[in-house]
């Protein structure tokens, strides 16, 4: 059932592809704002051509894909990692096959599983390879702009020596992707083993969202203050602009986009705050603290889209939404504000555990 709801579900594939794009924008790679759209399109096109998957136009640049494998950039999708280990735990239904005689059906399903699993990984890989290419490009441009040309020697502020060559740029860009984008290879064994407990099986993704979010902020702050010494002895800060873009991109992706999208839907459909509060009271329990996009039909009826369902970083803002919603409830005459806020904090703590 869980296999069918993830790698075998077409809708989940669309969600996976769209949500993976948020990892690039969270790192400050926003087409038309921080990245040239032409350069972004080329990086995406090159990444597609390098994918190791059975699609028209793909698998044309195996050398680049192997390079990405060696650098630890691709084939590290968190949900696929959890699913693979889960299926390995149960030996993919071996006992069921031998006792019920439905081996041919499972054999057919296994082929569909492999193709779908490859696609699920490819949807993640195309964004990771695009992010790698764009990070590498802006690193080289930043160093060149501050007087450190290709193959030039330079040091950091404490004297470590570097050379601006392909190896330096590749490793630096790959490290950003490995540390700032969810990566199954970086999930601890403790978290991986949590899948065997009765809390849920997809534990790696929320754990990686928390790890990479902290890393994005750390990377941005480090880049803003990082100093290098050129061969002529001048101290420069070539990465300051990249750092600011990364911090702004993270803030925009996590907070501004969900709030802005919700406000835009409210304005387009002329939905008032009272109507939004009424909507929150009637939605299912799993959507009560989500970012809801309201839609009002011609006859005045309310519908909504649960934006949180496709937002990879919803884990970070859901506790805040929970506390705000609890505070709003506390403003009514039949509830005390303090009690509702305490209840909201408790709910927010539970919300953090929901994805597990």
Among 62, 100, 132, 90, residue whose Cα is nearest residue 140: 132
154: left (phi over 0), alpha (psi -120 to 50) or beta: beta
Q: For residue 332, give the 3-state DSSP assignment.
A: coil
pTM of the model: 0.84
What sign for the dihedral angle of Cα 313, 315, 319, 324?
Answer: positive
The string of pLDDT tens digits covering residues 328-355 is: 665 554 555 566 556 666 666 665 555 5
In sequence order, the 6+-apart residues with CB closer than 8 A to the CB of 118 are 52, 53, 54
pLDDT at 9: 82
For residue 31, list its beta bridge partners.
35
Q: What is the arithmetic mean of pLDDT over 110-136?
A: 86
User: Bridge-partner residues for 236, per DSSP?
Assistant: 228
- Structure confidence at residue 356 as a pLDDT band (50, 70, 90): very low
pLDDT of residue 20: 87
What's the pLDDT at 349?
A: 61
Report the chain's mean pLDDT, rounded to a whole number.
84
Kind and range of the H or E run holding 79: helix 78-89
Confidence at residue 218, expressed as pLDDT on a 0 to 100 scale: 96
By percentage, how much of the chain surpasses pLDDT 90?
49
For the chain, the residue count is 356
Report the share of the chain in percent with pLDDT over 70: 79
User: Minimal CA–CA distance to 223: which of 315, 156, 166, 270?
Assistant: 156
pLDDT range class, residue 110, cuts 50, 70, 90: low
Residue position matching structure tokens 């902020």: 217
Low-confidence winner among 55-59, 209-213, 263-267, 349-353 (lowest mean pLDDT): 349-353
Tokens standing for residue 172: 């630096």
> For the residues 19-23, what does the mean pLDDT come to?
90
Q: Looking at residue 261, what is its pLDDT?
A: 94
Cβ-based neighbours of 55, under 8 Å, separated by 6 or more: 122
Using the structure block, give the residue that is written with the tokens 């290709």.
Answer: 150
Instruction: Give the model confidence (pLDDT) of 30-83 as tens digits.
Output: 999 999 999 999 999 999 999 988 888 888 899 999 999 999 999 877 666 666
Q: 155-169, 199-213, 283-297 — which is least confidently predicted?
A: 199-213
Both tokens assigned to 12:
């989940």
- Cβ atoms of residues 73 and 132 within 8 Å: yes
């Amino acid at each position: 059932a869980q296999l069918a709801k993830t790698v075998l579900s077409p809708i989940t594939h669309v969600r996976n592809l769209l949500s993976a794009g948020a990892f690039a924008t969270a790192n400050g790679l926003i087409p038309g704002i921080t990245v040239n759209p032409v350069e972004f399109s080329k990086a995406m096109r090159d990444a597609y051509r390098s994918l190791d998957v059975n699609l028209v136009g793909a698998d044309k640049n195996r050398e680049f894909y192997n390079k990405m494998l060696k650098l630890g950039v691709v084939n590290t999708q968190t949900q696929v990692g959890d699913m693979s280990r889960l299926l390995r735990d149960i030996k993919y239904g071996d006992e069921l096959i031998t006792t019920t005689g439905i081996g041919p059906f499972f054999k057919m399903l296994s082929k569909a599983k492999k193709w779908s699993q490859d696609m699920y990984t490819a949807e993640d890989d195309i964004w990771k390879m695009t992010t790698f290419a764009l990070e590498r490009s802006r690193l080289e441009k930043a160093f060149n702009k501050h007087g450190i040309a290709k193959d030039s020697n330079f040091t950091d502020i404490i004297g470590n020596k570097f050379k601006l060559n392909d190896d330096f740029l590749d490793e630096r860009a790959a490290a950003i992707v490995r540390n700032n984008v969810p990566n199954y290879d970086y999930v601890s064994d403790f978290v991986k083993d949590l899948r065997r407990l009765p809390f849920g099986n997809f534990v790696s993704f929320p754990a990686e969202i928390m790890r990479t979010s902290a890393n994005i902020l750390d990377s941005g702050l480090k880049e803003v203050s990082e100093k290098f010494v050129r061969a002529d002895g001048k101290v420069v800060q070539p990465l300051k602009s990249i750092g600011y873009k990364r911090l702004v991109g993270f803030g925009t992706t996590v907070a501004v986009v969900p709030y802005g999208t919700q406000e835009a839907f409210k304005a387009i459909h002329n939905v008032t705050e009272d109507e939004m509060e009424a909507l929150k009271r009637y939605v299912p329990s799993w959507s009560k603290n989500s970012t809801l996009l309201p839609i009002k039909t011609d006859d005045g009826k309310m519908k909504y889209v649960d934006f949180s369902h496709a937002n990879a970083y919803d884990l970070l803002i859901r506790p805040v939404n929970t506390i705000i919603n609890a505070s709003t409830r506390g403003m009514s005459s039949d509830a005390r504000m303090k009690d509702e806020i305490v209840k909201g904090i408790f709910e927010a703590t539970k919300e953090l555990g929901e994805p597990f």
